[in-house]
A and B are shown apart, each in its own frame.
Chain A
Amino acid sequence: MITIDPGSPTSPTEQIRSQLAALIRTGALAQDSRLPPVRQLAADLRVAVGTVAKAYKELENAGLIRTGRAAGTRVNPGQTTTPPVLAAAQAFIGVAREAALTLQEAQGILAAGWTPDLQESDQGPG
């Protein structure tokens, strides 16, 4: 399941993209598993078809999913984050909850610690 918060300052496309990307990275969406058709997800979330299509396109450009005419949209293999990173994230979530941090506050701490050098090396050249 994914959710859309109409009151969030984040655009619906970004909300869809980020949640799907997270589900793929954590392995909640297994490799080769099929995503719902664009029309179905758009109807369920009460957003325009183009909004979901754009999110899917961005995920496809990032190499997380692939779209085939007959096979539909499927999760690409090898996109799950490595187990040590997942374990560290779980540990961080536990500590953040103990400290009564909200999701936004925890994300802010991560963003602050995410140095430009790390970002560049993560994105790679080009």
Chain B
Amino acid sequence: MVVGVRVFLVVGAIAVIVLALWALLRRAPHGRSGVGIEVMRLSRSDRATARSHLRRQWQSSLIALLAGVAACAAMWQLAGAQPEWYGLPYALAGTVGAVVGLLVLNLIPPARWPSDDRRLRVGELSPRGSFSFARQWVFALPLSAAVLLVLSLVLTGLYSSTDESGLHRVFMRRSLSGWGVENGQVVDVQYNLSATSPFPGWYYGLPLIVGTVVFAVAVYWTLRRTAMAPRPISQELFAVDTAARTLRTRFVMAASSAALGFQIAGTGLVTGITLRSSHMDAVPTADGSAAAGQAAVEPGHTLAIVLILASVAIAVAALVLLLRAIRTVTEAMAAGANAGELTTHEAP
């Protein structure tokens, strides 16, 4: 039964990964992207300006992405070096990576359109905000996931118990500990409290909740900065500017949603494994020479398996989002390069 579930899990995970990658590749642009098309429509001089702007944009995005991954890797190293922290850095790796990445993205001086003091300047009368450059679900979905994560952490915190060090990081439940056999009958069944860890109690939950809130604020701040940056002074560049902001917003949302997804998946997987093993009980048997069997305690056992499967699916979705974030960088890179080629060819 247990082997069957494992095989099912592995096959299911592989199938989901293959399907997701296939879907991603199928949707990959074969020609020029939106921003690339907008760049091609520009005049020669404007194209050079747009190329320079896009080059700055993809460079900062790439540096931020690498900084985030490096911070995440550093947290994993820290977790290995500090076993007395009971894997807390593992739990925080996704959040720390995302916050560091966003911080770096905001610290790099933004790509600004050139300004000319003698030229007529155009001001747009539509208000721009953090959520102006992507569809609403792009923001609503990760926000809902973050709220759900915080609520789940509060719930697991309430159900957590302290370990021998007084840290809220174990799950306790009554389990069968022993029994007697008298005249072929099971008698004197005894129970005890068994603890299983790691469990996302307050020890992991509180830093994760704080980290998630900081993370959400960092995402909002980054999106706002992207939206509020000055428009180009020339109206001819507005379309490419909109496309560049859309690309930047997509990068921020894809990368941060991926980090959030990995965090939810990791927390869910650990919780699921802990709950699954704690929802197995010994079966009393009158045959004293036979080894005691094990029976699943329902519905906890099934719910734990569902949680594990959901976590694997979320991890795959997070991987797809990470690839999408990388694709936005390559898209800006390609658009900048296309513009550059044309500028060179058309130059007299």
Interface residues of A (CB under 8 A from B): 1-7, 16, 23, 29, 34-37, 39-41, 43-46, 72
Residues on B with C-beta less than 8 A from A29 are 125
Tell me whether B327 is interfacial, beta carbon within 8 Å: no
Residue of A nearest to B235 (CB): A1
A44 close to B120 (CB less than 8 A): no
Q: Can you list 18 A-B pairs with a CB-CB distance of less than 8 A? A: A1-B123, A3-B123, A4-B120, A6-B117, A6-B118, A6-B119, A6-B121, A16-B123, A35-B127, A36-B124, A36-B127, A40-B124, A41-B123, A41-B125, A43-B230, A44-B121, A45-B123, A46-B233
Residue B228 CB within 8 A of the other chain? yes
B 283-329 contacts with A by CB, 8 A: none
Report B11 CB to chain A, min CB distance, Å: 52
Chain B residues near A23 (CB-CB < 8 A): 125
Interface check B214, CB cutoff 8 A: no
Residues B228 and A3 in contact, CB atoms below 8 Å apart: no
Q: Which of B117, B118, B119, B231 contacts A44 (CB 8 A)?
A: B231
Known: A3-B121, A44-B122. A36 touches B128 (CB 8 A): yes
For residue B183, CB closer than 8 A to chain A, the reply is: no
Are B127 and A2 in contact (CB-based, < 8 A)? no
Distance between Cα atoms of A5 and B233 in the complex (Å): 11
Q: Which residues of A contact B127 (CB under 8 A)?
A: 34-37, 40, 72
Bound CA span A7–B126, Å: 25
In the assembled complex, how far is the CB of residue A37 from the closest CB belonging to chain B, in whole angstroms? 6
Please tell me if B229 contacts chain A, counting CB pairs below 8 Å.
Answer: yes
Residues of B within 8 A of A (CB): 115, 117-128, 228-231, 233, 235
Give the interface centre of A34, A36, A40 by most chain B CB atoms within 10 Å.
Answer: A40
Q: A3-B120, A6-B117, A46-B233 are in contact. Are A39 and B228 (CB under 8 A)?
A: yes
Chain A residues, CB < 8 A from B122: 1-3, 44-45
* C-alpha gap A4/B121 in the complex (Å): 5
| Further 20 A-B residue pairs, CB within 8 A, beyond A2-B125, A44-B124 | A1-B125, A2-B122, A3-B120, A3-B122, A3-B123, A4-B123, A23-B125, A36-B123, A36-B124, A36-B125, A37-B127, A39-B228, A41-B123, A41-B125, A43-B230, A44-B122, A44-B231, A45-B122, A46-B115, A46-B121
- Nearest-CB distance from A119 to chain B (Å)? 29
Closest 10 A/B residue pairs (Cβ): A43-B230, A44-B123, A45-B123, A36-B127, A44-B231, A4-B121, A2-B123, A45-B121, A41-B123, A3-B120
Q: Which residues on A sit within 8 Å (CB–CB) of B128?
A: 36, 40
Tell me the complex Cα distance, A4–B230, Å: 14
Chain B residue numbers with a CB within 8 Å of A46 are 115, 121, 230, 233
Distance, CA A2 to CA B115, complexed state (A):
17
Q: Could you say which residues of chain A place their CB within 8 Å of the CB of B123?
A: 1-4, 16, 36, 41, 44-45
Q: How far is the CB of B126 from chain A (nearest CB, A)?
A: 7
Q: Is the CB of A1 within 8 A of B121?
A: no
